[in-house]
Amino acid sequence: MPTPKETLDELLEMSSSIRNAVLARGEGEVLASTLHSPEAEKSMTSAARDLITSAATAAEEMGKPRLTQMFIETRSGCMFVAMGENDTWLAAVTSGDPTVGLVLYDINTALKTVLELEAAGEYSK
């Protein structure tokens, strides 16, 4: 049975455009990360959580349903976020010009795997 970290490592192997990823819950409880320093992990987690909160507020104000995924493009790359059950979410950053649909598919698949294994009690931390 894979660990959260192994799931993220597999994600990076599957999607060559993803540079780093964080799997988290709630306000930023990190379940796994591919980042190599606590500072970088905290920075990415905080940025993703801020985006989730802002996007959720905007969707609610517009009367739209809860967001399930999003991506933000900047000059230096993109951040992708997939939101799942139990306020669990996966954020990934890319560089350059990624294939958006493929990255969204890959992060949603990884998040779904985590949630299914966790629900079945088969996910080791």
Under 8 Å between Cβ of 83 and 91: no
Q: What is the DSSP string of 60-111?
A: HHTTPPPP-EEEEE-SS-EEEEEE-GGGEEEEEEE-SS--HHHHHHHHHHHH
Domain count, the chain: 1
Q: What is the pLDDT of residues 81-117, one digit of tens each?
A: 999 988 999 999 998 889 999 999 999 999 999 998 8
| CATH code: domain of residue 56 | 3.30.450.30
Rounded to a whole number, what is the largest CA-CA distance in the chain? 41
Q: Evaluate whether residue 125 is within a structural domain.
A: no
Q: Evaluate whether residue 90 is within a structural domain.
A: yes
The 3-state DSSP class for residue 14 equals helix
Look up residue 119 and give its two tokens.
């629900």
Task: Look up the domain containing 103 and give its range.
Answer: 4-118
Under 8 Å between Cβ of 77 and 95: yes
Q: Evaluate whether residue 50 is within a structural domain.
A: yes
Look at residue 124 in the predicted model and tell me its pLDDT: 59
Q: Evaluate whether residue 16 is within a structural domain.
A: yes
Q: Evaluate whether residue 124 is within a structural domain.
A: no
Confidence (pTM): 0.92
Q: Evaluate whether residue 19 is within a structural domain.
A: yes
Q: Evaluate whether residue 30 is within a structural domain.
A: yes
Q: What is the pLDDT of residues 19-68, one digit of tens each?
A: 999 999 999 899 999 999 999 999 999 999 999 999 999 999 999 998 89
